[in-house]
Structures are given as C-alpha cells and as structure tokens.
Structure 1
C-alpha cells in the first residue's frame, strides 16, 4: 500500500473511532472506538515513518 492509502485508512479509523466514542453510549462501542483509535495511531505511524524515507535497511542513503 502507498503511504497515501495508509493515511486514508488511518483517517477513516480516526473518524469511526471518534464517532463511536462520542455518539454511542455502550460498552462494546467504547471498546470498538478505542481499538479504532489505536489502529489510527498505528496506521498513521506507518504512513509517516516510511522506511524508504528514514534511510533504513534497503534504502540507498
């Protein structure tokens, strides 16, 4: 996946997670909202910290 697609998925997780936490008042919805927000953090990190841009293994720099 491209960083742009990963960022799109991250933003979708942010929107869905925030909506669940704010709108729905049920324990299962809160758990799902927290999981979606954690997925947002993970996907956002993957989108921003691309190994090609960081000079890690496999890059030329």
Structure 2
C-alpha cells in the first residue's frame, strides 16, 4: 500500500478502525512500532503487536510460497 492509499483507506474508517488501520498501515510501511504507537495513542504494546505481527506474516518469506 502506498502512503496515499493508506491515508485514503484510513479516512473511510470509524474511530476504532482508524486507529487499528493506522497501525496496520504503519506496519506495512515498516514504521517502527513505538513511533506508530505514539501517533495512534495505543498504550498496549500487546495490542499494537497484533497488527505488526499480522503485517510481518504477510511480508515474510513463507507467505511468498503461497503466491
């Protein structure tokens, strides 16, 4: 996802979706988790990690085997 696509995607989401979508977009763009959490105001590293772990699985070498 490009930055513009991410912004347009996030603009169409409700509050929870906006925050979770922001972290998902940040993870897909390889923005450090701590930096993204400061912007999204997530306090739980565990919760933020779920979005980053999902993005890492999608980008990993094993995921490319499915393509």
TM-score (norm 1): 0.39
TM-score (norm 2): 0.36
Which structure has more RCO (C-alpha within 8 Å, separation ≥ 6)? 1
Task: Pick the structure with greater CA Rg.
Answer: 1
